[in-house]
Amino acid sequence: MTEDKTAAVTGATGFLGSHLCERLLADGWDVRALSRPSSDREVLEGADEGEDGALEWYVGDVFDDETLRELVDGTDAVFHLAGVGLWSATPETVKRVNRDGTAHVLKACRASEDGVGRLVFTSTAGTRRPNEASPFADESDVAEPIGAYQSSKAEAEQLVDRYADDEGGDAVTVHPTSVFGPRDGSFTPQLLSMGLEPTMPAYLPGGLSIVGVSDVVDGILAAYEKGGNGEHYILGGENLTYDRAVSRISEHLGGTPARIPVPSTAIHAAGPVAEAVGAATGRQVFPFNRRMAKLATERLFYTSEKAADELGYEYEPLEAHLPETVAWYRTEFQ
C-alpha cells in the first residue's frame, strides 16, 4: 500500500487513464482526476469503495489553467495521459490537445505554490521506429513523425524533456506500444474480431508489439518510482505479426480466425485516395495519408530492454490478458 500520497491524473476517463486510476486507488493513493464536462465519469464509479485511496474529480480540460493549477498543486505525482487521436479529431485539434495541452500542464506544474512531484508523461512508441540496423526499435531510434498524431506527441516530448533537463523539473516519458485490454474502443475490438468472428475473414499485413493494459500501468508506476529524470522508456509486449496474433487468439478461445491477408498494395492505395478526398473537401475525412498507410503495413516491433533493466518492467503474453478482455468485448460488442 502507498501511504499519504496524492496523484493528479489527466485523461482519467480514457482507456489507459481509467485503468491507472483504478490501480492508484487500490494501492492507497488519493487521486485527483481531470475530466472534461462531457466525459463519462461513471467508468470509475465505485473504484475507491473499500480502498484506502479517495477519488476527487476536477472538471475542466488541459486548457483550463486555474483547474490545472488546483489539480497538480501539492501532489506527489502528475500522470499526464490526456490526448486525442485522428479518429476522433481533426489534425489541428490533435496538435492543439496533445502538444499545447502538454504545455499547459507543464505551466501548471511550474506555477505550483506547494510544489509538485514527478511528472510521468505518456507518449507513444510511434515516435520511435525500427531501422535498417535492427528490426526492434529502442528509445534511441527517434523517427521522423508521420501524421499529426505522431508530430504532436514528438513535440510534446520535447516540451517535457526541456522541463526536466533545463527548467529544474522532474519528469519521465513512457512510450506504450499497442495497448490491449478492456474498455479500449479501437485497437482491442479490431484485433479480437479478427481472431473470433467468422464475419471478419481478413487480417492486416505487418506486425506490432502488443501489450496488456495492466502491464503498461505497471510500467507507468515503475517509471514514477525508479525512472531517471528526463529519461524515456518503451513499454512494449510481444512482437507479433497480425496473422500470428489472430491465430493465437483463435486457438486460445476456440474462435474463427481471419485467414485472408489484406494485400499491402490495397492499403497503400488507400493513402492517396484519402489525400485526394481531403484535398477536394478541404478537410481530412479519413485519418491517414499515403505515408501513414505505408507505415500500417510494416512490422513495428520494439524492445523494452531499457525499461526491464532500469525499472524492472515485465509483460505477460497475450493469452494472459484474454479472459477479462474477451468478457468485456462480448458484453460491449456482441
Q: Give 3 or 208, the one with higher predicted confidence.
A: 208
Residue 284 is predicted with a pLDDT of 45
* Domain regions of the chain by residue span: 6-181+210-237+302-318
pLDDT at position 264 over 70: no
pLDDT at position 99 over 90: yes
What does residue 154 show for φ and ψ, rounded to 5 degrees? -65, -40
Nearest to 305 by CA among 178, 86, 156, 137: 137
How many C-beta atoms surround the C-beta of residue 83 within 10 A?
A: 26
Q: What Rg, from alpha-carbon coordinates, does the chain have? A: 20
Strand residue runs (E) in 72-157 = 77-80, 118-122, 136-137
Kindly indicate the confidence band of residue 52, based on its pLDDT and cuts at 50, 70 and 90. Answer: confident
pLDDT at position 46 over 80: no
Cell numbers at residue 201, please? 475473414
Kindly indicate the confidence band of residue 291, based on its pLDDT and cuts at 50, 70 and 90. Answer: low
Q: Give 305 or 287, the one with higher predicted confidence.
A: 305
What pairing do the DSSP bridges indicate for beta strands 238-241 and 178-180?
unpaired
71 Cβ neighbours under 8 A, 6+ residues apart? 8, 10, 32, 34, 58, 60, 108
Residue 219 is predicted with a pLDDT of 98
Least confident segment among 20-29, 227-236, 242-251, 267-276: 267-276
State the Cα torsion 328-329-332-334 to the nearest 10°.
-130
**Rounded mean pLDDT, 276-301:** 53
**Rounded mean pLDDT, 58-69:** 96
User: How far from 254 is each of 83, 191, 217, 250, 257, CA to CA, in Å?
Assistant: 36, 15, 29, 5, 9
Residue 224 is predicted with a pLDDT of 98
In sequence order, what are the beta bridge partners of 275? none
Kindly indicate the confidence band of residue 95, based on its pLDDT and cuts at 50, 70 and 90. Answer: very high
pTM score > 0.85 for this model?
A: yes
CA 289-293-294 angle, to 5 degrees, is: 120
Residue 261 is predicted with a pLDDT of 65
Tracing cell 491507472 back to the chain, one arrives at: 20
pLDDT at position 329 over 60: yes
Residue 267 is predicted with a pLDDT of 55
**Is the separation of the CB atoms in 23 and 49 below 8 Å?**
no
**Is the separation of the CB atoms in 160 and 106 below 8 Å?**
yes
Q: How far apart are CA 90 and CA 33, in angstroms?
A: 25
**pLDDT tens digits, 171-213:** 999 999 999 999 998 889 988 988 888 777 676 778 899 999 9
pLDDT at position 275 over 50: no
Nearest to 79 by CA among 118, 110, 40: 118
Mean pLDDT computed over every residue of the chain = 87
Residue 64 is predicted with a pLDDT of 96
**pLDDT tens digits, 121-175:** 999 999 999 988 889 999 999 999 988 999 999 999 999 999 999 889 999 999 9
**Rounded mean pLDDT, 254-278:** 56
pLDDT at position 279 over 90: no
What does the DSSP assignment read for 191-260? Answer: HHHHHH-TT--EE-SSEEEEEEHHHHHHHHHHHHHHPPTT-EEEE--EEEEHHHHHHHHHHHHT-----E
CATH code of domain 6-181+210-237+302-318: 3.40.50.720
What pairing do the DSSP bridges indicate for beta strands 55-59 and 30-35?
parallel
Residue 133 is predicted with a pLDDT of 85
Tracing cell 506555477 back to the chain, one arrives at: 111
**pLDDT tens digits, 211-230:** 999 999 999 999 999 999 99
